[in-house]
Chain A
Amino acid sequence: MPESPAGELTSAQAEIARLAPELLAVARYLVSSDSDARDLVQHTIEIGLRRLGQLREPTKIRAWLIAIETREASGWRRRLRHVLSLDAAVHEIVAPGGSFEHQVTVRDALRRLPPRTRAAVVLHHMAGLSVSEPAAALKVSDNTVKSQLRLGLARLREDLR
């Protein structure tokens, strides 16, 4: 753990805990199985806790953690392939409230997007990160993310027509 005043650390840790559901919601779009998504969240939180001392702007802890999660997702499956058996099935996410059918349609359309386009759409349009934050996490330029966002929206428009 980083050396920080106890109160600050506790507050940051509590904030990380509070963000776990959002991290899981994002993770489910970044990796293919629910168990992978949960493992990814755990891994992200671990890294977050260890690097708390490097977080310069505490108000950006949410974007910082989602960026960590996105970067980790990139190396995730290949590393695990040799360590454990991944679940083959992708669990459908049944969300409470709203129109279930409608939400499933949107999620299906999202899953058909190329992974990087999907990541850009999820991080920017759904999780609310700025364009530069997913760009940094995905190690691409802002313009590339903007292109992916345009492409993603166009594909979604067609898919949902």
Chain B
Amino acid sequence: MTDLLDDRHVLDNLREVFRADVQRAEQDLLEQPSPVRVSSAGRHIGVLVVGLVVVGALAIALRSPLFSSLSSIGGAGSSSGTEPSGGSPTAPASPTQTLALIGGLPTNLNGLPVLRGDDALTAFRSANPGQELQVGGWLSAGQVLSCPVLRPGEWWNPCLAIGLHETSANGPLIFVYPGPSPIPTPKVEAGFTQPIVFSVHTGDASCPTDNLDCHVLPVIDSVAWIGAVVPVPTNFGPAPSGGLTRADAVDTARASAKANSSGPLTLVSAQAGPYGIVGPSGSDVRADRWVWAVFFTGQFPAPDCADSACLSQSTFLVVLDYQSGDVLIEESPA
């Protein structure tokens, strides 16, 4: 390595390595377009939340014939929802039908239950290939998904999945797949949400035989019901009783922050409220869960910092469960 003794040689080597890094990344993205592990969707739901709420519009620009018709249905629906007619799965269809709604979603449609959340995940795993199922949830912005690099035909790539929140206030997500023959699905603007029920099947015939994960993925056959687009709720009612006092929350959060900082901490604010109002975006904490969000300033290390050399003045956020005080999120800079 004697040729690396001056800066110019070091710089040349860095550029050469970076060119190789980019080539390698190109290759990796072609070989493994998805960063998300599909093998245990339930266990990795957090991964899905973070890794999949992505690139919605890229589908649009790059490959998806699906997108051209997305916006046309974005505002469809009525206060009680509509059931699209049989011929076209997304036509704004039949007259409004009165349905029993729980949490804004019908419980039954066409004689079949509307599955949600964990019940739906369980049903996907145990259903017979091709069996019709119905799954409901709430769409939100950025959840018509795709990846920048996808091999044609790989509809099971999780980056193409559509996320359905458990409630109108976000919360846990489950995912359904447009499948080999995508149909138009609604696009929801930021700050809005829309209840929807998809008719789906698992065990799609186009799944590769050696891809066992693919066989339990729910593939969209049609939009069975669609409700009105509504704003994501921001009024979550009063705080639950028996929560942490402000002093307790600050003490708990300070202990958490201290573990990440060797210097003095300055409390900036401590705010109690629904996570959707006081918490940072990008997590799967339900928007209506009451939390304490406590901000500090101090000397905090950069991520992956192995020693104190990289401490710097920064902010630190600790989000605690309002009642139990469990640390839900630590983030720096906040």
Q: Which residues of A contact B190 (CB under 8 A)?
A: 50
Rounded to whole angstroms, the CA-CA distance of A152 and B3 in the bound complex is: 18
Shortest B167–chain A CB gap in Å is 18
Q: Which residues of B contact A157 (CB under 8 A)?
A: 4-7, 10
Contact of A161 among B5, B50, B149 (CB under 8 A): B5
Number of chain A interface residues as a range = 35 or more
Contact of B62 among A13, A43, A97, A115 (CB under 8 A): A13
Rounded to whole angstroms, the CA-CA distance of A78 and B260 in the bound complex is: 10
Taking A42-B35, A78-B331 as contacts, is the C-beta distance between A13 and B17 under 8 angstroms?
A: no
Interface residue ranges of A20-55 to B (CB < 8 Å): 20-22, 24-25, 28, 30-32, 35, 38-39, 41-43, 45-46, 49-50
Whether B142 and A46, one on each chain, are in contact in the complex, defined by CB atoms closer than 8 angstroms, is: yes
Whether A76 and B303, one on each chain, are in contact in the complex, defined by CB atoms closer than 8 angstroms, is: yes
Q: Which residues of B contact A116 (CB under 8 A)?
A: 302, 310, 312
Binds A, one of B217-225, B277-285, B289-297: B277-285
Rounded to whole angstroms, the CA-CA distance of A31 and B147 in the bound complex is: 21
Taking A24-B28, A46-B55 as contacts, is the C-beta distance between A156 and B332 under 8 angstroms?
A: no
Q: Does B132 contact A (CB under 8 A)?
A: no
Closest residue to A39 on the B side, CB-wise?
A: B51
- B1-42 vs A, Cβ < 8 Å mask (1 yes, 0 no): 110111100110111111011111111110000011100000
Taking A17-B58, A17-B61, A79-B282 as contacts, is the C-beta distance between A115 and B332 under 8 angstroms?
A: no
Taking A25-B21, A41-B35, A78-B332 as contacts, is the C-beta distance between A96 and B58 under 8 angstroms?
A: no
Closest residue to B24 on the A side, CB-wise?
A: A95
Rounded to whole angstroms, the CA-CA distance of A155 and B72 in the bound complex is: 57
Contact of B25 among A10, A17, A21, A153 (CB under 8 A): A21
Contact of A115 among B18, B21, B302, B328 (CB under 8 A): B302
Q: Does A89 contact B (CB under 8 A)?
A: no
Whether A153 and B24, one on each chain, are in contact in the complex, defined by CB atoms closer than 8 angstroms, is: no
Taking A45-B54, A79-B280 as contacts, is the C-beta distance between A114 and B310 under 8 angstroms?
A: yes
Rounded to whole angstroms, the CA-CA distance of A102 and B52 in the bound complex is: 36
Closest residue to B30 on the A side, CB-wise?
A: A21
Interface residue ranges of B34-90 to A (CB < 8 Å): 35-37, 44, 46-47, 49-58, 60-62
Rounded to whole angstroms, the CA-CA distance of A105 and B17 in the bound complex is: 10
Whether A49 and B302, one on each chain, are in contact in the complex, defined by CB atoms closer than 8 angstroms, is: no
Q: Does A56 contact B (CB under 8 A)?
A: no
Rounded to whole angstroms, the CA-CA distance of A156 and B280 in the bound complex is: 37
Contact of A114 among B1, B11, B57, B307 (CB under 8 A): B307
Rounded to whole angstroms, the CA-CA distance of A72 and B44 in the bound complex is: 21
Q: Which residues of A contact B310 (CB under 8 A)?
A: 114-117
Contact of B303 among A50, A74, A84, A93 (CB under 8 A): A74
Whether A156 and B21, one on each chain, are in contact in the complex, defined by CB atoms closer than 8 angstroms, is: no
Closest residue to A44 on the B side, CB-wise?
A: B54
Taking A46-B53, A114-B309 as contacts, is the C-beta distance between A24 and B58 under 8 angstroms?
A: no
Q: Which residues of B contact A77 (CB under 8 A)?
A: 303-304
Q: Does A9 contact B (CB under 8 A)?
A: yes
Contact of A43 among B159, B260, B282 (CB under 8 A): B282
Chain B contacts to A: CB under 8 angstroms: 1-2, 4-7, 10-11, 13-18, 20-29, 35-37, 44, 46-47, 49-58, 60-62, 142, 147-149, 159, 190, 260, 280, 282-284, 302-307, 309-310, 312, 327-334
Known: A93-B21, A156-B4. 7 other contacts (CB 8 A): A14-B61, A45-B58, A75-B332, A82-B329, A95-B20, A106-B13, A139-B333
Can you list 14 A-B pairs, Cβ within 8 angstroms, ordered by A? A10-B61, A17-B148, A21-B26, A24-B28, A24-B29, A25-B21, A25-B24, A39-B35, A42-B55, A83-B46, A102-B13, A121-B14, A153-B10, A157-B6
Chain A contacts to B: CB under 8 angstroms: 1, 9-10, 13-14, 16-17, 20-22, 24-25, 28, 30-32, 35, 38-39, 41-43, 45-46, 49-50, 73-84, 93-98, 102-103, 105-107, 110, 114-117, 119, 121-122, 125-127, 139-140, 153, 156-157, 160-161
